[in-house]
Structure 1
Amino acid sequence: MARKNTGNWYISCVTSLIFLGGIYLVIVAFTGTTDIYTNLPWAFYAFFQVAVIAAGISFICKSWGIHKKRETKYVEFDTSFLRRVIVDEHTGEECVVFGSPESTFRKACRRDWPFENIDEDANWIIEDARGNDITRKRLSDYDGIARIVPKYGVERVSDYHSEERSYSSIEDSVEYYD
């Protein structure tokens, strides 16, 4: 059975035949007589009608591209704001920040902080694809996908509130002898 993915619906000729054949059986049940031989030629004729209609429906659905969800509303974007994609280095999550062409990447990120794993007040930088720091560059200067990374080691929100961060690092290096 050949099935073609037409978006979110799977429509095939066989599916259409089954559906229309069921409709035909309901019609025959209400209009049929007791003599099966008088209905047999009409059954063949109706079967071929169902086959032609099913093939037509299948062709129309595939060629017109009927989808389950279709956006019909026109969406207008404000061209005075630029949108840039920034990837969180730890989670790989992509976030879209926006701002005026003259605002910096830092200002655009701080406007609405989308990164849950990086503390906003920590030392972080935004790098381009080559690893250059573009934190203080304007949004109009770079149009690729950037990534945000902590400047010094791993600085996540969960690390600031963990029990291990409350102890000083000198206690980790001291050895106790009995």
Structure 2
Amino acid sequence: MMTQNNEMYGSRGNEYNSYESACVAFSKLRLTSGLEREMGLCDGTLRNRLNPNVENANLTVKQLIEITNRSGRTELIDGALQSVNMVGAPLNGSDEETTLAIQALKASQYSGELAQVVLQNTNGKHLPRIERDRIRILASAGIRNFVSVINTIESKTAGIQPLLAMSADAVAGFPIPGIA
């Protein structure tokens, strides 16, 4: 699988390239000082552990989880998962108030935005880091939305009452030909 990835998108250099890119992107957010204080770490500890040029200064899994939970940012987890050819999506229940129809429209929006960005970058031989990160962010948002749709469907079909609620969402959100 990794070979296909290398041939399709160019050499990644090593399997940690996605994670290293995520560390650099996270460092640019300038959140490390506050997180260090919250986590009880010495000044500069996170900055060093996020720096790909510092040998043996990696984050532990526990620290990675704590940073993600405290900051609410998923860049580091996303980068770690992408390094092993996986993607993830948080199940935070933020879309429980949103109807299935709105979630489906969001899915179309993310797909359209992703297609637009990819088409804008098809002519170049090299994909700049900023554009690569932009594509990754849009694709990840789309994946999170699709996971949210699946989660909504699963929670709304657990019994007859949720099934009726889902039907009402569909009728309210989508016009039926001849009736609307």
When normalised by structure 1's length, the TM-score is 0.25
Which protein shows a greater Rg? 1
Bigger fraction of residues in helix: 2
TM-score, normalised on structure 2? 0.25
